Structure 1
């Protein structure tokens, strides 16, 4: 009697060659972990070792289960008979639908790499089982002429995760098996040498690797799970991870592993398994989080999308649901019919859909620019309709390149009619394994088998997206729903275009304004203003000196008056040339506004110290030359000339502005008249066109036309133009109604332009504050996690420091070591405690702290950096003799921040001899350096939270330092630099108030 024999290549054909690629294989293993009731699944790719490690914390396997289930091809997971034992279940968790139903998922490992070490420990069984380890070389299964029974799979049990030596025992069994196959001439000598070399090169210590990797995966006591160590990994994995660097598309790994559960819709089902993928590209322990959750769509992003579509398809394929356009117009219980099955029950069964759409152009979207950009980037990478069966993604649906509904294909035919695009939409189609059981996945996870159920399913959805586009987004606006979309889109477009024009005009003004501010501060720093005014005074002095040679007294008198007039005019013109008027027609950021406020203060000082003094100097020179020449000049005449000069200048300026105002009013009036005339002309032409149609109508025969329909059609044509004209003119009227001119209590004129600018600035500031708040909240979350993770470690360190104190008390040599550790710990704890409630703070004590102790601490901390950058660290005698009273953990971080900043700016300066110098006297402690000086406009701003001139700086150090010092009744400020320095900070105790 003849029998089938199974070649080893059958496994290769069923496994590696059935799976589309490595990402699909990993997805299949995640589904197996899901079926094993795992809570987490971690993937670690160690590039330097070409090693891929996959771990889950599921139920694991016993040795018997490994042999009877894992090493058995095509095991049953759904079907029960007397000979079949179903996989174990976790009685502590909700029942999970089985996802890995094909029985070949384990063979997918062969597509990832040539060899695998599998380590598994069972839990939730009737007794405790040992750890099972199996080593498989997949190259054997690719060889021709070898049967399955010829291949030996070594399997061993251990009490702990095997180490390097124990793994070598498994390898040895494979090598002996290979040797036997070679001796029996089942494999060639060349194949033996090649495969044996692969086995020998797979040299890892599983125990050490598991201890060093991130993630708490233990196989002890009542914990279980399954680990896969795969080496060498297929060279395609790196491309699957990195993708095409020139394209901004999702990589294959991202496409296949993102969105394993539905996490994008509001109130989505809870995810049952957490997935991580870490790519270690070097040997320093740093890694890239390949499938970070924030890269995918979030419920918050789902909610802010432009259009929402949610509903159910019943057993007949008819859709009923809610449609929301632009978040304004809700259409409840909208129905889309499908007659593809003649209104009979479908084979696919009922299912749900929930997806959103964002406009492809920002000008047509209600989403703010930042979120629109974020969503556009995400939809370009991940946009599509994802299918979830029992909240587990069905591959490859969701891959932007898998157009199973012909969305992109239809769009290429006529984009205006076929509205939807994968790159603008995201959402879910939800099916259920019980109800939609006829939708069967292919063995290779390449979609559903194309049976009758799938054809129904596909046809229902294709009809749905086409009809949905026709109902709500028809560009001709033939129906009411489409008419709303078109009107709203035009309204948003108009708004964006207006903003764009305004921003374009404002951008140029703003750039010029900021540029002029920068020039002002540069000139102020270089004393250019003083030099220019001195030049005017010198020229005036020379001119007056020339009067000495004029013999005619009257002529000399007039010359002096003329030179005085010229001098004052030049001073006035120069002052005007450096005067900056306040921002008009554009808003300033908080930083720019602070710069402008600093400018106003500095200009006031210039007025007092330079321009007023210059005018006084002119008076002095005039009086001096009048006295020297012994001539008389009427003071009244000089006064009249000065007033005449001011009057002429004032009239000249105001006349110019009046003419500009009149020109603008005339121009606006002309444009409005032209517009209204054009609108009326359009209406008149439309009425004439409609009336012209009368000649084509016959009213004698009733059957020739429908009077009601014709009347309605003609009325609609006229009303369409009329409504458009009314809308435009209403907008113009509202603009003029909002025109505002009033006097305040001080008699100052206030216009709506000023109000608009003030509101724009407030909006700009609020945006900055929101961004800062977001960054701070993220930082707060990070610190919270840090605090949680380190709390036990901190307690342990604190206890160890106390133990060390006991030793240092009896051993003098340990005393300095103890103090150094204690100070460093308080320093670290002081930093972390800035973010913790006061009642959790360390039990610290106030003490007298020698400033030299602080300097020694700083030397320990920064010595190597200072030596590397050739920076001298000096102090004065006064500094060495002073002390501070308070907490070390308050002062130390402040000095650390100051020195850290000083090193940074010294390193970015061109100074040859870099020096940090510390001073102290009765007024406070000073920290100076000779690096890049602080600009005038930055002296106060450097203490604002979020302000920084450092590249990628957060602007937190000085702000937090000031806050913690203020809490201890100290203050920090930037003061006039000490001699030989360009920057000096002073830390001083606040003076007590009268109430203290």
Structure 2
């Protein structure tokens, strides 16, 4: 009997299993398509997510592209021969590129597009070929009653992208015909039967809208220029490339642009963060020479865009090598690790780690060579060799980039490195004993890197969410885990000799440095306070004297009294010497209660400097015009006078320095004499213990322990002094450097405290905004339930009016809210002026303030969001309202001069010293002010590339007080 020949029958659902069914999550699907772009020799790939009625995403690359024939012969062929093809045989390598190892392994990576959206439109351009397009509705492959050969995919080619729109209609018709075929379609009976059976099944399980309904209703999704502008081949920036348009994207992508998604929803926050974490570091950032392959994730909301992920936003090799603890090297085929060791910021040379047993050598189990590195920093800043600023920055970067990633042929294997994907169980071991198991996965930076050629047994799982758990993979884990445990205990952990020897010294040095900084701060503050107290009267007298001298000089010039001019010249010389002596020393980081005294002194000194400079100029002119002496004698006398004055000043400095050096030398000689005796005084009693029966080994250990302790004490005492002397010898300004550092530290401390205040403000505002409507309704309901006799009283009427006023005032802020999608619109100066006038109407009236918006301002037109521009004017006018209270003529004006919008007031203006800090967060001179308004003005305007500044010398000034200048991009008049 002849045996029957039976073949497999392929159902359409196979594609669904190979596509959606084999992908772990959305970021992994994106990475698969990015890998395809890498295989296509793209230099850049990007994911763009667009908001809209139907969210659309797009993946753009500038690779070699595909022709219509490529779509038919390769893209639409599932399971290509890429796995067994030799990379060196490839004929599609573009000029200027070296061969790349293929990332594709199974030939099904392209099907991951099915996970991202129900419908995919692919546009591609290959050199010397027409544009080609494929449209696929992946939901067709969900029908288990359809045969694969019965589904038609729309494929087209065209000369220009101008032809795309009419082609889309025919391509959609092709897809729709898979559900609703025409009667003359040879597939008609099979398709109708398959969809009838599938519809009946879906309705039987309670679905209201069937899959066929959703396919037929998806024909109206609009693709516009907005969705293609970032594709390099669309605008002609590149000749080749591919665009994958994902229509009606998966929820994990749509929530990235959804303004209606709740920001406090934990699940949404997890989804948003997971996309960033998984796609960050897509290419290996620890390579000595990174391959030119850029990637980016861009969010498009309204007319604005922002970058979520970027190839440059990584923790790179230079940063890694600046860590205080690290190992970096390679495992060979025998499992031996050779690499560099760094502990507490010092390079400790090469280390070699031999495994307890070699890895297997059988072809199907073999683990090949690979690279490994890991680095971290101390948990406590007091124990770290990093400065406080760098230590804080490392903590912030660990939140963003921490973890041990895995790379094959330069590209990341997902999801290793993510918090939940701790490949080497670092945190599990650390939970058993954090001291000995030194490494922390989230506080470490590192990676494992290998290539497919040397490690063919390290293969992807079916879902591409990691590596297959085979012998080679387990050997990889064993080798790295053993290395981490061994070097952690030997060099880094609590049992490490290096840690036990060096950590106390580091902690002591950090403590002494902080104490020295605090001591210097107190000394600087005390010196400054004393200087102000001792010289305030002298400065005021010098100012008065300079004014009197100018008056005497004017009289002398008028009556041509040469003798008086000569006398005045001597007094002016003394005045200039006084000015040098009265110059302010460096300001301490915090002025505290000395701020008023400082500002008064500063103003007096500026007046003295200005008057003395004018006096000098006028005196020189008088000496020349009156010919008091021969010009050469006058100039020579001035030369010698200045030389004498400066020489005296230098001599005074020299004598002071010599005196302090003598005092300092005496102090250190005395300290050294005392230290010479310390060891003998402390150690010699131990010798007497030998006669009392104490063991020799115990005495020797005691002698060594005292010597080691004193050695550390002496190093901590003398080495910082020697470093300071070395820096002074190299002309390094220690006082200036310390002042800058101390100022930065004080500002950081202040901002941390104020951020806590801001957080509380935000919570309060959030609660008030959320509860306002409910509370208003409850108050009104109960007020109306009161008896009629009460409701007729004046007390009730006034209370009700006050409640209404405050509620309306809060509701008036509705245009400013940011929640929900809001489109850009044309905003006129007339609208802004009326809004401000209505908002502050009562305050303008109560405080007798004149508010004016000029015709020029009312005519301006700016395209932007109301919620972005209106808060700017509200904050600026609110500030002006505070400052005009201190003057009699109270006026606020909005104007436009030479295309510069000016908001001016007649108040006290801004102190010149405060202009540089005016827009800093939390900077304020208002009593009980928060210092938030102007900072938010700057941020709001910067988002749309507008700018705001305090009026400078060349800017228009409308009123004598504060004048703020706003430059609106794209502003017109109408």
Q: Secondary structure at the match of 1:600?
A: helix
Aligned partners of 1:69 and 1:734: how far apart in 2?
70
User: Which is greater in Rg?
Assistant: 1
Residues 278-677 of structure 1 mapped to structure 2, 5 A cutoff: 278-280=298-300, 282=301, 284-293=302-311, 295-328=313-346, 330-341=347-358, 347-477=366-496, 482-483=497-498, 485-498=499-512, 587-588=588-589, 597-601=598-602
Q: Secondary structure at the match of 1:494?
A: helix
Residues 77-476 of structure 1 mapped to structure 2, 5 A cutoff: 77-80=82-85, 88-123=92-127, 128-161=128-161, 162-180=163-181, 183-187=192-196, 188-189=198-199, 194-206=211-223, 208-211=225-228, 213-218=229-234, 223-238=239-254, 244=266, 251-264=273-286, 267-271=288-292, 273-280=293-300, 282=301, 284-293=302-311, 295-328=313-346, 330-341=347-358, 347-476=366-495
Q: How big is the shift at 1:868?
A: 4.8
Aligned partners of 2:59 and 2:19: how far apart in 1?
18
Matching residue of 1:934? 909
Q: How big is the shift at 1:96?
A: 0.9
> CA 1:681/1:69 → structure 2, altered by over 3 Å: closer, same or farther?
farther
Aligned partners of 1:691 and 1:215: how far apart in 2?
90
Residues 1:67 and 2:72 are matched in the alignment: yes
Matching residue of 2:852? 872
Q: How big is the shift at 1:724?
A: 1.0
Q: Secondary structure at the match of 2:82?
A: coil
Residues 911-950 of structure 1 mapped to structure 2, 5 A cutoff: 914-916=891-893, 929-934=904-909, 938-939=911-912, 941-942=914-915, 950=934
TM-score normalized with structure 2 length: 0.60
How much is the aligned-residue C-alpha RMSD, in angstroms?
Answer: 5.3
Matching residue of 1:761? 739
Q: Secondary structure at the match of 1:279?
A: strand
CA contact (8 A) 1:902 1:916 kept: no
Q: Secondary structure at the match of 1:423?
A: coil
> CA 1:286/1:681 → structure 2, altered by over 3 Å: closer, same or farther?
farther
Aligned partners of 1:28 and 1:252: how far apart in 2?
16
Q: How big is the shift at 1:64?
A: 2.3
Matching residue of 1:722? 707
> CA 1:390/1:80 → structure 2, altered by over 3 Å: closer, same or farther?
closer
> CA 1:101/1:514 → structure 2, altered by over 3 Å: closer, same or farther?
farther
CA contact (8 A) 2:44 2:295 kept: yes
Return the structure number with greater relative CO, CA threshold 8 A, min gap 6: 2
Deviates more, 1:303-312 or 1:678-687: 678-687
CA contact (8 A) 2:405 2:416 kept: yes
Residues 1:42 and 2:50 are matched in the alignment: no
TM-score normalized with structure 1 length: 0.59
Residues 678-827 of structure 1 mapped to structure 2, 5 A cutoff: 711=697, 715-716=700-701, 718-728=703-713, 731=716, 760-764=738-742
Number of residue pairs the alignment of both structures matches: 681
CA contact (8 A) 2:854 2:893 kept: yes
Q: Secondary structure at the match of 1:251?
A: helix
Unpaired segments ≥5 residues, structure 1:
518-581, 608-671, 696-709, 741-754, 771-859, 876-898, 921-926, 966-971, 986-996
CA contact (8 A) 1:400 1:423 kept: yes
> CA 1:396/1:930 → structure 2, altered by over 3 Å: closer, same or farther?
closer
Q: How big is the shift at 1:502?
A: 6.7
Q: How big is the shift at 1:74?
A: 1.1
Residues 824-973 of structure 1 mapped to structure 2, 5 A cutoff: 865=832, 868-870=835-837, 871-872=851-852, 905-906=879-880, 914-916=891-893, 929-934=904-909, 938-939=911-912, 941-942=914-915, 950-951=934-935, 961-962=952-953
Q: Secondary structure at the match of 1:20?
A: coil
CA contact (8 A) 1:202 1:232 kept: no
Aligned partners of 2:74 and 2:607: how far apart in 1?
89
CA contact (8 A) 1:589 1:764 kept: no
Unpaired segments ≥5 residues, structure 2:
182-189, 203-208, 258-262, 532-583, 609-671, 726-732, 749-826, 838-850, 856-872, 925-933, 940-946, 965-974
Q: How big is the shift at 1:597?
A: 4.0
Q: How big is the shift at 1:383?
A: 1.2
Aligned partners of 1:246 and 1:207: how far apart in 2?
28
2:56 to 41, 51, 59: 51
Q: How big is the shift at 1:690?
A: 9.6
> CA 1:714/1:240 → structure 2, altered by over 3 Å: closer, same or farther?
farther
Aligned partners of 1:415 and 1:263: how far apart in 2?
28
Aligned partners of 2:594 and 2:746: how far apart in 1?
13
Q: How big is the shift at 1:727?
A: 2.9
Q: Secondary structure at the match of 1:24?
A: helix
Q: How big is the shift at 1:427?
A: 2.3
Q: How big is the shift at 1:145?
A: 2.4
> CA 1:718/1:198 → structure 2, altered by over 3 Å: closer, same or farther?
farther
Aligned partners of 2:828 and 2:524: how far apart in 1?
44
